[in-house]
Structure 1
């Protein structure tokens, strides 16, 4: 089977696990392919722009700072690092869920590097989609440029961002196991394999729990710093 067909078959196979596993393919209406051009004079525009962007706009230009500004305002926080963490947590949940599920069903893992993406942050939150149905590379290589770009916008620790990625991987494995798509034991084994190398190594550990995927991360996503926020189920901090 040709590579595009294998990727599309896998995406169809896993998309019904939850909305976070549904990854569409193709150029969306309202895309702005020139948005990756760096132009400081357009930063204020980025704060109000809810259009679809080329994935390269994550790496330079006003689109990513604008999205983080909108998250800051939406959640009424004075800490840009909290908004940056929330952006990346949503980004990894949207992209790593289908990636992890593809691995769990032994399918074709999609390419989720920025160059193969469209994305937008609007009133309905973060949305992502693929440009082309092609086979991708590892999680670290796919996410590392975005980690660097987020940290260029806000002073957030790299270990925190990679902890967010690990949390998204573990959350996806939990859903895969609960759906019966793969056993909890196989999902934990896959998680340990994915976390065997840096930068995901040391981000957390799987906790023995029969028939379940239980994970405890070693960093906090900072959600508790929002007004009315609390700690997540895999947070290392005491419950708040």
Structure 2
């Protein structure tokens, strides 16, 4: 099987888990921006500002956190399920944001690439360049999405809970996920408590997430 076909087949097999696992492929219409627009130009800051307005977030770092939480959910959910290094570098992505439907992301070419951490690092740097937000918080968002994806993969019976926890703990054995949280045992389930907070509780009508360290 060619790399092209392998990636397409892998994405097809997981897209039915839930909408976050549906990563589309191919060049879209002109309402989408190239992924490189995340790294240069005004699009990233404009989008973070729009999220701040949408959620009535008074602190720019809160909107930046919500952007990266959404961005990584749409990329790391399918990548966690397929367990392959699909190329999600900005140069192989398209994205758009609108107030009604939020953030959408798709890949340009179905191909393998570097590890997801390497692909996400330039976006982390770009967010920090336009918004004062902690690096550990952003990577905590990414790890939270991986843990959530592992939970869904277990429910889809693609992994056992033990296999999923082992995979998550292996990720957290090295930067940037080292110390990002802790997997907790539930029979047949994946539980996770993160060390940082995504700050969603600081938006109007917001609250604390299920893996939030502030939940007592």
TM surpasses 0.5: yes
For 2:141, the equivalent position in structure 1 comes to 164
Q: Kindly indicate whether the alpha-carbon contact (under 8 Å) linking 2:140 and 2:177 is maintained by their aligned counterparts in 1.
A: yes
> Residue by residue, what CA displacement relative to the aligned partner does 1:43-86 show, whole Å, maximum 9, x if unpaired?
xxxxxxxx311000011101111110110110112111100000
Within the candidate set 191, 194, 200, 2:168 is matched to 191
Deviant stretches of 4+, over 6 Å: none
Work out the CA distance in 2 between the residues paired with 1:179 and 1:238.
27
Within the candidate set 216, 220, 240, 2:197 is matched to 220
Is 1:173 the counterpart of 2:153? The answer is no
For 2:44, the equivalent position in structure 1 comes to 64
**1:37-56 mapped onto 2 (5 Å cutoff):** 51-56=31-36
User: For the aligned residues, what is the CA RMSD?
Assistant: 1.0
| Structure 2 stretches lacking a partner, 5+ long | none
Specify the SS of the correspondent of 1:213: strand
> Residue by residue, what CA displacement relative to the aligned partner does 1:151-191 show, whole Å, maximum 9, x if unpaired?
11111000000000000000000000011121111111111
For 2:87, the equivalent position in structure 1 comes to 111
Work out the CA distance in 2 between the residues paired with 1:28 and 1:85.
26
Is 1:235 the counterpart of 2:215? The answer is no
For 1:101, the equivalent position in structure 2 comes to 81
TM-score after normalising by structure 2: 0.97
How big is the shift at 1:136?
Answer: 2.1
TM-score after normalising by structure 1: 0.87
Work out the CA distance in 2 between the residues paired with 1:140 and 1:26.
23
Q: Kindly indicate whether the alpha-carbon contact (under 8 Å) linking 2:85 and 2:116 is maintained by their aligned counterparts in 1.
A: no
Work out the CA distance in 2 between the residues paired with 1:195 and 1:78.
32
